[in-house]
Amino acid sequence: MTSIAAPMWLDPADAHVEDLRAHVERGTDPAAHPRAAEIREGVPVYDVATLLADERHGVQAELVATLLDGAGIVVLAGAFAGPVLEAATAEFRAMIAEQRASGAVAGDHFAKPGANDRIWNAAEKLARRAPEVFAAYYANPALALVCEAWLGPGYQVTSQVNQVNPGGAAQSPHRDYHLGFMDAAGATRYPAHVHRLSPALTLQGAVAHGDMPVESGPTMYLPGSQTYPHGYLVADREDFRAYFAEHHVQLPLSAGDAVFFNPALLHGAGHNRTADVHRLANLLQISSAFGRAMESCDRAAMARAVFPALFSLPDDGALENAVAATAEGYAFPTDLDADPPVDGLAPPSPADVLLRAVRERWSAAQLDEVLAGQTSRRRGVVT
């Protein structure tokens, strides 16, 4: 029997808007999202309090099914709230003010420089300047729930604060890191199975740090587009941009709502058409332990800075969540001559060390000594 195998490499010439339609226009079945509070513009919206009270693996299975084969996006309403959100918002706005005062202008991947205020490596900057705020913010159980669902343990959190100012123009529609940060010619060099693998290495998220009415330009999404095989090859195609412009959805968000989406979902920030709304979001890019994050963070410095604040967190999941966002969660790569596995298949990760330090109530000097030794043994590894 002769079978026709799927192509090993994707050809941009085979990308057609008509094929994308079948992925986008299939709709969202409410029955597939029994835990959702509502389906809004084809996107499941979940109440966080209800979600966290439900059976964890069942919740995670529903989230993964949505991100993988469904709409490709979920909204967690009320994910961040109260004093924790307010304190982080104040710090982010202070960072923006300081960057403006310095005269620096941060560029943007998919928009013109100056259309917004972008704080790169905001996770490390927040950890260093306000460790108590960082610890409380990243102890968030909803964040850990969805990160572990999509990426498993050992994930690495990076973030970029983005404030789109009144009049800020929309981004062009695109997919995200890894293959989304290449042009079509570059992405074509990777075989088709890597196009399927790339989205599993990253989770994209955004936390609203203020109310975002539609006229303020919240992110535009094309639900279902993450399943389109040729999606990494069409960002510069006018026919696909026109289809996106006609069929995308935009969801108004309240302060504290969080959106998480498959990085292969076609999306782009919207045009801020207001005269007075400075749309502020903390853009989260969470990386698999098995992938490479876009931003390099000094994780050892973050661990040292946040360590004293961790003692105030309850050891009921909040502590582990904050540690996961702070320290490197994976034992590799390392120098196995200097850092051999002793009691298992791998040496302890820096996150293991930080968690042990809190639970055993080490001194700052003791943690510093152990981290320095571990960094030395993990020779040449960016921490």
* Chain segment 25-59, per-residue pLDDT in tens: 999 999 999 999 999 999 999 999 999 999 999 99
Q: Based on the domain organization, do 253 and 356 belong to the same domain?
A: no
pLDDT of the residue at 108: 57
Q: Is residue 213 part of a domain?
A: yes
Tell me the pairing of strands 43-47 and 73-77: parallel
pLDDT at 383: 46
Cβ neighbours of residue 238 under 8 Å, at least 6 residues apart? none
pLDDT: which is higher, 375 or 233: 233
- Judging by DSSP bridges, how do beta strands 279-287 and 202-208 pair with one another? antiparallel
The number of distinct structural domains making up the chain is: 2
| pLDDT tens digits for range 297-353 | 999 999 999 999 999 999 999 999 999 999 999 999 888 888 887 777 888 999 999
Where does residue 37 rank: exposed (0-12), middle (13-18), buried (19+ CB within 10 A)? middle
Model confidence pLDDT, tens digit, residues 179-232: 999 999 999 999 999 999 999 999 999 999 999 999 999 999 999 999 999 999
Residue 146 lies in a domain: yes
Residue 380 has pLDDT above 70, yes or no: no
This prediction has a pTM of 0.93
Q: Are residues 237 and 310 in the same domain?
A: no
Phi-psi region of 56 (alpha: psi -120 to 50; beta: other; left: phi over 0): alpha
The domain in which residue 322 lies consists of 299-377
Arithmetic mean of pLDDT, 11-36: 96
183 and 253 together in one domain: yes
- Whether the CA torsion 140, 93, 286, 246 is positive or negative: it is positive
By DSSP bridging, strand 220-221 and strand 249-250 are antiparallel
208, 339: one domain: no
Q: Cα–Cα distances in Å, from 201 out to 118, 196, 285, 345?
A: 24, 10, 10, 23
Answer yes or no: do 312 and 279 share one domain: no
Give the domain-ending residue among 287, 317, 336.
287
As beta bridge partners, residue 267 has 174, 221
Q: Which stretches within the chain are classed as H helix?
A: 17-24, 48-53, 56-69, 82-102, 122-129, 131-138, 141-151, 184-188, 192-197, 238-247, 299-310, 318-326, 350-359, 364-377
Kindly state whether residue 243 falls inside one of the protein's structural domains.
Answer: yes
Residue 5 falls inside a structural domain: no
The residue from 252, 287, 322 where one domain ends is 287
Indicate whether 292 belongs to any domain: no
Residues 248 and 373 in one domain: no
Region 156-173: mean pLDDT is 94
> What are 255-272's pLDDT values in tens digits?
999 999 999 999 999 999
Answer yes or no: is 38 within a domain.
Answer: yes
Instruction: Check whether 4 has a pLDDT greater than 80.
Output: no
- Of 258, 287, 316, the residue that ends a domain is 287
- Residues 344, 236 within the same domain: no
For 321, residues 6+ apart whose C-beta sits below 8 A from its C-beta are 138, 139, 140, 141, 143, 144
Give which of 119, 201, 224 is closest to 161, Cα–Cα.
119
The C-alpha atoms of residue 353 and residue 303 are separated, in whole angstroms, by 10
Backbone region of residue 97 per phi and psi (left: phi > 0; alpha: psi in -120 to 50; beta: other values): alpha
Do 141 and 214 have their domain in common? yes
3-state secondary structure 5-66: CCCCCCCHHHCCHHHHHHHHCCCCCHHHCCCCCEEECCEEEEEHHHHHHCCHHHHHHHHHHH
pLDDT at 1 over 50: no
pLDDT beyond 80 at 113: no
Do the domain assignments include residue 127?
yes
CATH number at residue 255: 2.60.120.620
The reply to whether 281 and 312 lie within a common domain is no
Here the tokens at position 317 are 């999941």
Tally the residues of the chain: 383
Q: How far apart are CA 241 and CA 226, in angstroms?
A: 15
Cα 205 to chain centroid, rounded: 4
Residue 129 lies in a domain: yes
